Structure 1
Amino acid sequence: MARTKIDYGIDLGTTNSAISRMESGEATIKKTDTLKDTMPSSVFINKKKAIQVGDSAYNALKRDKLKAMKTWNDSDSNAYIEFKRTMGSDKTYSSSNLGKGLTSEELSAEVLKTLKSFIKDENVNSIVITVPAAFKNNQKEATREAAKLAGFNHIELLQEPVAASMAYGLDSNKKDGFWLVFDFGGGTFDAALLKVEEGIMKVIDTEGDNYLGGKNLDFAIVDEIILPYIQENFTIDTILANDSKKQILRNAMKFYAEETKIKLSFNDTHNILSDLGDIPGEDDEGEEFELDITVTQTDIERALSPVFQKAIDVSKSLLERNNLKGSSLDSLILVGGPTFSPVLRKMLEGQICKPDTSADPMTVVSKGAALYASTVNVSDEVREQTRDRTKIQLEIANESSTVETEEFVPIKILADKTEGKIPEKVFAEVTRGDKAWSSGKIEINTIGEVIEIQLNEGKTNIFDVVLYDDKGDILESEPTNFSVIQGSKIGSATLAYNVGIEIKSKSTGKIIFTTVKNLEKNQSIPAIGTRNGLKTQKQIRPGMDSDFIKIPVYEGEHNAEGTRAIYNEHVTDIIISGADLPSLLPENSDVDLTVNIDRSEQITVTAYFPYLDFTYDATVERTVSSIETSWLANEIRKAKGSIAELKQDGNSDDAKLQKIESELEQLEKSFENNKNDVDGKQEVLTNLRKSLKTIDELNETTEWPKLEEELKEEFYRLEKANDELGNEKTSEVVNQLRLQLDEVIKVKDVKLANILLEETRSLFVHLTLIYQLIGFIGRHNDNFESYNWTDRDRAKALLNKGQQIIGENPDVDELHPLVVSIIDLLPRNERPSGDDTVLVG
């Protein structure tokens, strides 16, 4: 029988993945081909171009990474893992056996295909796939793309902590209070805070790090335990001095580190031992590598504590901003293989509270995904493909989960979906799976009848539905059953980020991030947000591709409002050009935005132009992120420069300065280790943005003295210009500005000061416009060859005409349109004003 609910859930993990299915009301892990609950998220392409996934691929990966030490070249590797961390990026994984590169999405699709193959008794068309709560939009879209490549027709995404809490909540007897899901996976970390009332779960806040997980633990063991041993016993100076060779060595040693991490989750000591010849390659003096290291709990604690502390700090920050302490929690739920570590559990108990270890950290997400899948109808498209119209078609509108023991279930016949004959009288009997309760035969029709059902507490209740005619004969129908989860009810998932846009601030003139109303972090999804009254900076001519409005969409962290847009995660740019508009859109026109985010966090943007009574719709498609190594190095250098400036300015918060300086040193070290690694660079950028925000906060404490000085200078300049060029009307405005200046200095209001500064400069430009225009023409004429003119001949002709006017009797009315025409001949990045394509708000 075709399923009416999705019923299948996949935990697509960085290092391990699993698939679960609802069977007889239970979320059941489907065993892998090696009869395990989980499968390594590893892919290998052999010499015959056959694709292997899982344990065999992981073993091949280990061989490849070790073999790379023999030639110090890893370009021939055909085995891959941890590609989840590069989802949505421009990273490709080279395969010499295939003769081409593979994207993270293509590799993830192979993992999904293999998981699907473990289901032998039916084809799986619909799926729920879990993603980290902290995943950015491009990563979620990349996951959807991977699922499409794997052949799924209906794809729902679910945040991993939500899945975990759903599985935990069904089995737990704790039905009230606050829960914290601590999800430390192979490549990502999520913390989710839930409030539970009588079994109804509501996610109230989340925080996470997409580049913190088991991979970081493995490399911490490599860097703190294994490499120091090798340095002590071998000569590897030239290897460490070469970025490529150093990374090959670290990658090869990572497997020994991973084994150590797992063993020390259950044992007091572990011996890292290799035989001569196990590790190919030689040190600088031609000696073969061997390992013989006894690692204790003390050693592992020293290596792993700093990594675990990052996750604990995120969790503590999450609790603090919700006015909670560890003692306020009723449950601390552990998710992910690394949470087996006694080092972590001890740290959690000491800093937050004792963890609840009743759920299996390795399977709770997959099971939760299946439970959630049992509450989601398959899409109409999939349903129509699998519908058997020869049977009487039913619509059963039951609640999927509830905390009540009784529920009302409407059932009706779908005559338009049924091709066979439907008897005049049809009766339905609903029987609970344990046969201890039955509704009796109740007449139903195409209008519908409501049947009251009785539920067993604390479990998934299966109900069979059988149809009869008036003679008591059974009628073939579908669906023939439905299920209701009793004892817990998951609220909707929430936004992990503030969803907003980049605008030019009306008050300061700065390009900033602003959240779209109703799309704030922790808003329940699906959600619809609006931002009205935005203004265009220039006119948009119809049919002109070169005239356009840009709406940059961003995801912002906690406290992102008003920060520089570049400190947040860029999702996409919605471009609306003159070719999209029916007629001329004047400068300073209103634009009203509506942003819709559906249950799977797909984003659509609608822009309405009241002047034109025109609406433009756009769906946010998958974008690919790319980070230039040189650009990132420069951003780190600039951040260090900002710290030096803060010290010179005498910033009073020395403790914060020292902390941020230490963080930047660690970032620079991490960058040096990962400058050729897409995943590593993204991790550095994510952490750099956090540091830059702190630097901005520190800058604000020294901003006022500079702003006050600048404001006074601009005002005195304005007074001088007014004395020489002003009139009675401008003198009146200047006197009003002087009163405002005195008041602003008195209260030291940075926001009002920026507005006053803008007004002062604007009046100065108005008074001295003729000189501004003369200076513009002179500069561009003298430096003509240094500009990339779009039409050199026309630009030269206009500048010559300007010089002629200046030599006679210049006035603003003649020079201003001439300068505007000259500006139009400059590339956008060489024009004197800021970005005039973004909206003003």
Structure 2
Amino acid sequence: MSQQINFGIDLGTTNSLIARFQNGTVEIFKNPFGQKETLPSVVAFRKDRIIVGDKARELIEKDPENVFSSFKRKMGTSESFFVPNSSDFKTPVELSAIVLRELRNFIYTGEKPDAVVITIPASFDTIQSNATKKAGNDAGFREVQLLQEPIAASLAFANKQVNAASLQGQWLVYDLGGGTFDVALVKIVDGEMRVTDHEGDNYLGGVDFDIAIIEKLVVPHLQQQGAYPELLTELRSARGKYNTLYHILLKKAEEVKVQLSNSPSAEIEFEIDEQDIYLTITREQFESVIYDTIQYSVDLVKKILDRNHLSAADIMEVVMIGGSTYIPLVKQLVTAQLDIPVNCSVDPTTAVATGAAWYAGTRSVSAPESPEKRQHSGAPVNIHFKTAYQKNTADKEEYFTAIVTGPVTGLSYRIVRADGGYDSGIKPLQERISEMLLLAENTNNQFNILVFDAAHHEISADTPVISITQGKFNIHGQPLPNDICIEIDDLENNTTKLELIFEKNAILPLRKTIVKEVMKNILRTGQDSLLIHVVEGSRYAVPGSCVPLGMIEIKSTDLLTDLVKGSDVEITLQISESRDLSVKAVLLMNEQEFSEVFNPQVRQINIGKLKDDIRQLYQKAAAKMKSFKSRQQYELAAAVQQIQEDLNQVSSRIDTISDDDVTDEKYQLEEKKRKLAQQLDSTGKDQQILEITEQYFKRKEYCLQTIREQEDDSRIARFEKITADESSYLSSQSYYTIKAKIDELDDLGWEIRRNKPETWINAYYYYASVTTDDYTDPQKAARFKDAGEKALERKNYDELKVVVNQLYHLLPDTKEGDQLKGTGIG
């Protein structure tokens, strides 16, 4: 029998909540101390105990060095926090686990859930997602399933509606929380909710507004009052003179922010150098320092609309989620600039937890086999069910049918609902079965198919679980937030490039097998290796601007025999709904297999490496700028110049960061660097695609003309096969995909041309025109030139082929710079 998870957690930057689904409704659990639904995501360490939540938050002013918050923003990083009271370090994962354990204490029913759904921002990459799962495991949950926050909010919104028919359109979820921002495009198809696209920023939220109050209002005020030339650095540095004050100011700034949502002004009071400071901050001042950030969030919404070719008329409404949407300016800008109705009908604070519980009510615990589990008699039977039914319905009964393959003679079946509310009775098993399944209302119904032998003993069979949600919406999988690619060699340009494996917004889970060619000989006696490097990011970016997820390194010492250039390696990649990545590489020639499951949980950010990356990007931008100007493409040159200016700003900000900086700015700058790298790669892309497309059509026409001259039906068939999916690869807007088709046409054309005498005659005249002294061995080149003249006189074209090939290999290598080490596959 399957068991539903039922428990959902919103692990937030500022506040966290836990909820449970039961009997078609969702309950938000309250803190037994104070009866509040929200638990501040704050952890304090005293000499003898750990304190979580409101009490921990109160200690910020008394003992800020031992109080930690906003650690969700550093999830998946190498950052750790020193705790003076315990003289050790705590990672974001460990601090998150403490919050999760505290939430378990909210469950007043005495239940000890073994599995839970935890929400994450839609833009969380695989590393951040895996770190969140580890926090859940460390908190005592054996099984953790992840759910993207906009999906959770959409479930809370949709399942609150009385009239489900009103949701047969598209809407946007605008989720501005304490530390992250997401916007998702959502629609319902056949009763299932689908997130069709999303954008977001993992470093945009209420915490940034608190920081803006400090850095743009409080610090300038203090500098006007006295001599504080390095005040900001002293506030932000862990060893800074005013670092304790910085944590106090963050708490006070948050309080001011909340007050300004309802009042025209608020006061902030604190002490510095035994001087009492009183500062009045108006809503107008506050809005002026956060305006650009809010505008950026609205621009991300517009980006989704533009990418999907949608206008305001195509969107029903914008659903506002997240505590930061209480700020009046947020609603004002969203309403004014998008011209789409804003819906604030769901509680911005609890919506994500509510949606997580709805989702948990449709998910089953993947419990391991236990001794108490029913024992089946007899050997397993090779029976397979191909089922068909509506997974979401407003009806009280649902038609179920299945095609059964395998030896069904003499067997019987029975379908029972997991809660015991429906039992089909025992019936003969046939090649096709059907039932009308009775559903419990407003909940997820799970049914099990049991198979019996002729003696009515239950036997083991491959039977799927039937899952039907009645009266409520479910989701059609979770979209992948970024492209997943592998890095391959681009020998023509002496660099590496990305090959797309899983596309952004593809629905998890995913699996794909590809075959790549080994690009170099790897000898067992050598030091070389083959790299299967998987990254997450934009397929159009340079590999270095993406997040590395895992690498299988096949060393020369791992090989049973030498690996020969041109042999094949079969690579299978699989990614689960909760973002576990498994990679398997099979060397087909050597019959060797290498595999690994990657669940990276930490991303290292090195300030020195970050500076070096910026310097390299700037050099690349300079080269692009020169190219665009030489072709008088001044608009593109201007775009690159703007990227250079942005790179300079990032570089300047990096220079101000101390080695012990306590903020998450270096992660923000690293994210900014990635986005600038992607912008730089895409600048001029349209022109590049236009040029390669024109080249494609020229090669296509030349190849077709060459084939027609030969009247070769077999090669015409090959030509038609190459160009059969022309509309698909041309519309892909992928330079490398179109270039690969050109290479295929060139290979086909060469097969024809190499048998024509004029091909070798023209080639010989070209090499003969090269000055003899320019060859690497002038004397040998002179002998081959003489042999070529004699072959022409005798019209011996086979001999002429040999001469041409020998002269080609005597030409000097014109490639400059170090040769690519690369990955070894391409």
Give TM class, smaller chain: 0.7 to 0.9
CA apart distance, 1:403:
2.9
How many Å apart are 1:578 and its aligned residue? 3.8
> 1:69-468 residue pairs with structure 2 within 5 A?
77-120=65-108, 121-172=110-161, 173=163, 174-240=166-232, 242=234, 244=237, 245=240, 249-265=245-261, 267-274=262-269, 278-279=270-271, 281-282=272-273, 288-296=275-283, 298-352=284-338, 353-381=340-368, 384=370, 402-408=392-398, 443-444=425-426, 452-453=436-437, 459-460=442-443
Q: 2-side partners of 1:731 and 1:501: how far apart?
A: 49
Q: What SS does the corresponding residue of 1:833 show, helix, strand or coil?
A: coil
- Secondary structure of the residue that 1:4 maps to in structure 2? coil
Partner of 1:806: none
In the TM superposition, residue 669 of structure 1 has moved relative to its aligned partner by: 5.2
SS in structure 1 opposite 2:425? Answer: strand
Contact 1:722 1:730 in 2 (8 A): no
The answer to whether the Cα contact below 8 Å between 1:134 and 1:209 also exists between their aligned partners in 2 is yes
Q: Cα deviation per residue 1:744-791 (whole Å; 9 max; x = unaligned)?
A: xxxxxxxxxxxxxxxx9x99875347x99xxx9xxxxxxxxxxxxxxx
Secondary structure in structure 1 of the residue aligned to 2:317: strand
| Alignment partners' CA distance in 2, 1:233 and 1:176 | 59
1:144 match: secondary structure: helix
C-alpha displacement of 1:351: 1.8
SS at match of 1:514: strand
Shift of 1:456: 8.3
Residue of structure 1 in register with 2:12 after alignment? 13
Structure 2 counterparts to residues 579-590 of structure 1, below 5 A? 579-590=557-568
Q: Mean alpha-carbon deviation: is it higher for 663-672 or for 199-208?
A: 663-672
Distance 1:628 1:599 in 2: 30
Counterparts in 2 of 1:522-671, with a 5 A limit? Answer: 522-541=505-524, 546-557=527-538, 560-561=539-540, 563-640=541-618, 650=629, 652-653=634-635, 655-657=638-640, 659-668=642-651, 670-671=653-654
Give the CA deviation at 1:455: 5.6
Asked if residue 679 in structure 1 is aligned to residue 675 in structure 2, the reply is no
What TM-score does the superposition give when structure 2 sets the normalisation length? 0.73
**Residue 256 and residue 719 in structure 1: after superposition, are their counterparts in 2 closer, same or farther (change >3 A)?**
farther
Q: How far off is 1:197 after superposition?
A: 2.8
What is the CA–CA distance in structure 2 between the aligned matches of 1:503 and 1:763, rounded to whole Å? 31
Q: Please give the alpha-carbon distance, in whole angstroms, between the structure 2 residues aligned to 1:608 and 1:464.
A: 39
SS at match of 1:834: coil
Return closer, same or farther for 1:426/1:221 CA change in 2, 3 Å cut-off. same
- One-letter identity of the residue aligned with 1:355: V
Unaligned runs of 5+ in 1: 66-76, 391-396, 412-424, 466-480, 708-714, 734-759, 777-830
Distance in 2 of aligned mates of 1:645 and 1:618: 39
Count of residue pairs brought into register by the alignment: 678
- 1:40 is matched with 40
Which letter does structure 1 place at the counterpart of 2:41?
A: S
Question: Is residue 221–residue 300 contact of structure 1 (8 Å, CA) maintained in 2?
Answer: yes
Residues 166-175 or 673-682, more deviating: 673-682
> Are the aligned partners of 1:502 and 1:512 in contact in 2 as well (CA < 8 Å)?
yes
- Would you say the 8 A contact 1:91–1:678 is kept in 2? no
| Compared CA separation, residues 635 and 447, structure 1 to 2 (3 A) | same
Q: 1:617-636 deviations in whole A, cap 9, x for unaligned?
A: 21113253222212323433
Task: Provide closer, same or farther for how the CA distance between residues 228 and 238 of structure 1 changes in structure 2, counting only shifts above 3 A.
Answer: closer
Q: Retained in 1: the 8 A contact 2:157–2:346? A: yes
User: How many angstroms apart in 1 are the aligned matches of 2:122 and 2:590?
Assistant: 40
Greater mean alpha carbon deviation, residues 334-343 or residues 223-232: 223-232
Structure 1 residue 612 displacement after superposition: 2.0
Matches of 2:623 and 2:413, distance apart in 1: 82
- Aligned partners of 1:138, 1:601: CA distance in 2, in Å? 9
| Whole-angstrom distance in 2 between the partners of 1:732 and 1:209 | 68
Mark the CA change 1:401 to 1:218 in structure 2 (over 3 Å): closer, same or farther: farther
1:64 aligns with 63
Question: How far apart are the structure 1 equivalents of 2:308 and 2:140?
Answer: 42
Shift of 1:701: 9.6
| Mapped partners of 1:612, 1:683: distance in 2 | 45
- The aligned counterpart of 2:28 is 29
Aligned equivalent of 2:745: none
Q: 1:226 to 1:665 in 2, by over 3 A?
A: farther
Call closer, same or farther: CA 1:181–1:694 in 2, change over 3 Å: same
Which residue of the partner structure matches residue 508 of structure 1? 493
User: Where does structure 2 lack aligned partners over 5 or more consecutive residues?
Assistant: 377-386, 402-411, 449-465, 693-765, 789-803
Q: Give yes or no for contact 2:398–2:438 (8 Å, CA) kept in 1.
A: no
Report the Cα offset of residue 29 of structure 1.
Answer: 0.9
CA contact (8 A) 1:402 1:486 kept: yes
Deviation at 1:45, TM superposition (A): 1.1
Deviation of 1:64 (Å): 3.0
Contact 2:772/2:782, CA 8 A, preserved across alignment: no
- Cα shift at 1:464: 12
After TM superposition, give the deviation of residue 55 of structure 1 in Å: 1.2
| Equivalent in the alignment of 1:421 | none
Identity %: 29
Counterpart residue identity of residue 375, structure 1: T
2-structure distance, mates of 1:155, 1:22: 16
Shift of 1:528: 0.8
Counterpart residue identity of residue 393, structure 2: V
Give the C-alpha shift of residue 426 in structure 1: 13
Distance in 2 between residues matched to 1:145 and 1:236, nearest whole Å: 43
The CA RMSD measured in Å over matched residues stands at: 4.1
User: Offset at 1:100?
Assistant: 1.1
1:660, distance to aligned residue in structure 2 (A): 2.8
Q: Which letter does structure 2 place at the counterpart of 1:88? A: G
- Deviation of 1:301 (Å): 1.7
Asked whether the 8 Å contact 1:256–1:272 carries over to 2, the reply is no
CA shift in 2, pair 1:403/1:682, >3 Å: same
Equivalence for 2:727: none
The separation in 2 between residues aligned to 1:731 and 1:328, in whole angstroms, is 74
Shift of the alpha carbon at 1:200? Answer: 2.1
- The 3-state SS of whatever aligns with 1:533 is strand
